[in-house]
């Protein structure tokens, strides 16, 4: 399906979309927006899940089956969400993500997640997640909530963010991802902008920061950041899922990324279980940029080499994982 490409998915959640998990209308709005993404971007050839099939608590085994058995995925990042002010368990509970990595040690990597506004409590939890559960990175969410109202913090805030980054380095972790763009629930779109990434990247050059969803709709601003800071990377999680329903939008996004930052700074993300990963992976491997976009953006074609880097080699490098020596359980025929 992907030839000999090594596929390392940088964002796989174990979601609990059960409406009873939501803390009020803001949480319900949040999961309804994610269901709308599933409905709109799932291609006509694939099944669109009903609300009853989608808005429920997903299990570790279901997610593992989708990524490992039903798609060409070799490894994943089991990634929690810290939205404990919207959902009883944060929406993707970190303990479940750690358990997935425990069950599939050759195929799943655990990232921790905390709420930086909680101060010492967050720092203590980082220590638990790394020392006791083996967290290899952290996923942060800038827009917090207070009784359902947006309560944002910034990645360049010396009081809120910098202690988190310092603690990560103290624990030997130099990989931090952050949700940018893609406003969900009642969060204001300006709170999802990425102006704060400059200060984070500048003050912590030892940390590799991953901007999830390439900050859509702020792709042009993100590109100007990616080209200026060597420690900024872009994840095409969710962005990739425009590939069939809106291929021109996807092509223009990829052309901008290839022109500005090149193929070494782009990371694949599947967003399972919002979408089944199989169809997007298949479409990406076959995808070519239209010639007028290649010429108009001056970006060059999306080559098999570029696809291999994006699908897994870039993330493996950031994790210090040798995909060439991956275990037999991960190796597969093309």
* Helix/strand/coil (H/E/C) assignment for every residue in 130-169: HHCCCCCCEEEECEEEECCEEEECCCCCCCCCHHHHHHHH
Assess whether pLDDT exceeds 50 at residue 99: yes
Question: What mean pLDDT do residues 182-203 have?
Answer: 92
Longest dimension (CA), the chain: 53
Q: Range with the lowest mean pLDDT among 22-26, 235-239, 327-331?
A: 327-331
Question: Is residue 239 exposed (0-12), middle (13-18) or buried (19+ Cβ within 10 Å)?
Answer: buried
Peptide bond into 206 cis (omega under 30): no
Separation CA 66–CA 73 (nearest Å) = 9
pLDDT given at position 104: 97
* pLDDT range class, residue 330, cuts 50, 70, 90: very low
User: What is the third-level CATH fold of 8-321?
Assistant: TIM Barrel (3.20.20)
For the question of whether the overall pTM of this predicted structure is more than 0.85, the answer is: yes
* pLDDT range class, residue 146, cuts 50, 70, 90: confident
* pLDDT range class, residue 108, cuts 50, 70, 90: very high
- Are the C-beta atoms of 94 and 58 separated by less than 8 Å? no
Assess whether pLDDT exceeds 80 at residue 71: yes
> How much of the chain, in percent, has pLDDT values that exceed 70?
95
Q: What's the gap between Cα 302 and its chain centre? A: 21
Domains of the chain, by residue range, sit at: 8-321
pLDDT given at position 329: 46
Assess whether pLDDT exceeds 70 at residue 1: no
pLDDT given at position 331: 42
Assess whether pLDDT exceeds 60 at residue 58: yes
pLDDT given at position 288: 96
Q: What is the pLDDT of residues 216-275, one digit of tens each?
A: 999 999 999 999 999 999 999 999 999 999 999 999 999 999 999 999 999 999 999 999
- Are the C-beta atoms of 80 and 111 separated by less than 8 Å? yes
Separation CA 156–CA 177 (nearest Å) = 14
Q: DSSP characters for 182-197?
A: ---TT--GGGG--TTH
Query: Measured between alpha carbons, how far apart are the two ends of the chain, in Å?
Result: 6
pLDDT given at position 47: 95
For 277, what's the count of Cα atoms within 13 Å in the CB-facing half-sphere? 33
- Are the C-beta atoms of 174 and 168 separated by less than 8 Å? yes
Question: What mean pLDDT do residues 76-94 have?
Answer: 95
pLDDT given at position 61: 96
Assess whether pLDDT exceeds 80 at residue 205: yes
* pLDDT range class, residue 145, cuts 50, 70, 90: confident
> Edge-to-edge strands of the sheet including 232-235?
138-141, 175-179, 208-212, 232-235, 266-267
Question: What mean pLDDT do residues 93-100 have?
Answer: 98
- Are the C-beta atoms of 249 and 238 separated by less than 8 Å? no
Assess whether pLDDT exceeds 70 at residue 54: yes
Coarse DSSP helix, strand, coil percentages of the chain, rounded to the nearest 5 percent? 45, 15, 40
Which residues, 6 or more positions from 164, have their beta carbon under 8 angstroms from its beta carbon? 114, 116, 122, 123, 126, 138, 140, 176
* pLDDT range class, residue 333, cuts 50, 70, 90: very low
256: left (phi over 0), alpha (psi -120 to 50) or beta: alpha
Separation CA 16–CA 38 (nearest Å) = 15
Assess whether pLDDT exceeds 70 at residue 45: yes
Question: What mean pLDDT do residues 191-217 have?
Answer: 96
Question: What mean pLDDT do residues 37-49 have?
Answer: 96
Q: What angle do CA 140, 143, 144 make, to 5 degrees?
A: 90
* pLDDT range class, residue 332, cuts 50, 70, 90: very low
pLDDT given at position 325: 58
Question: What mean pLDDT do residues 160-185 have?
Answer: 96
């Amino acid at each position: 399906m992907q030839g000999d490409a090594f596929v390392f998915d940088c964002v796989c959640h174990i979601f609990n979309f059960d409406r009873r998990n939501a803390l009020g209308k803001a949480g319900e709005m949040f999961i309804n927006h994610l269901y709308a993404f599933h409905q709109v971007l799932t291609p006509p050839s694939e099944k669109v899940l009903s609300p009853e099939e989608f808005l429920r608590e997903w299990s570790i085994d279901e997610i593992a089956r989708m990524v490992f058995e039903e798609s060409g995925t070799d490894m994943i990042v089991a990634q929690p969400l810290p939205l404990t002010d919207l959902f009883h368990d944060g929406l993707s509970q970190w303990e479940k993500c750690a358990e997935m990595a425990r069950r599939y040690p050759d195929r799943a990597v655990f990232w921790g997640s905390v709420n930086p506004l909680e101060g010492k409590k967050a720092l203590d939890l980082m220590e638990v997640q790394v020392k006791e559960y083996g967290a290899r990175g952290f996923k942060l969410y800038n827009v917090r909530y207070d009784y359902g109202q947006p309560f944002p913090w910034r990645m360049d805030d010396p009081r809120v963010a910098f202690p988190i980054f310092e603690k990560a380095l103290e624990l030997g972790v130099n990989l931090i991802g952050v949700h940018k763009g893609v406003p969900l629930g009642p969060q204001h779109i300006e709170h999802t902008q990425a102006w704060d990434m400059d200060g984070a990247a500048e003050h912590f050059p030892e940390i590799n920061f991953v901007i999830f969803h390439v900050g859509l709709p702020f792709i042009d601003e993100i590109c100007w950041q990616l080209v200026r800071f060597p420690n900024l990377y872009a994840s095409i999680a969710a962005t990739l899922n425009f590939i069939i329903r809106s291929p021109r939008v996807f092509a223009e996004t990829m052309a901008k990324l290839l022109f500005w930052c090149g193929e070494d700074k782009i990371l694949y993300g599947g967003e399972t279980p919002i979408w089944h990963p199989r169809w997007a992976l298949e479409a990406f491997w076959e995808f070519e940029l239209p010639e007028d976009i290649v010429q108009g953006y001056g970006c060059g074609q999306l080559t098999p080499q570029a696809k291999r880097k994006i699908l897994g080699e870039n993330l493996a490098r950031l994790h210090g994982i040798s995909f060439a020596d991956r275990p037999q359980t991960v190796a597969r025929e093309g």
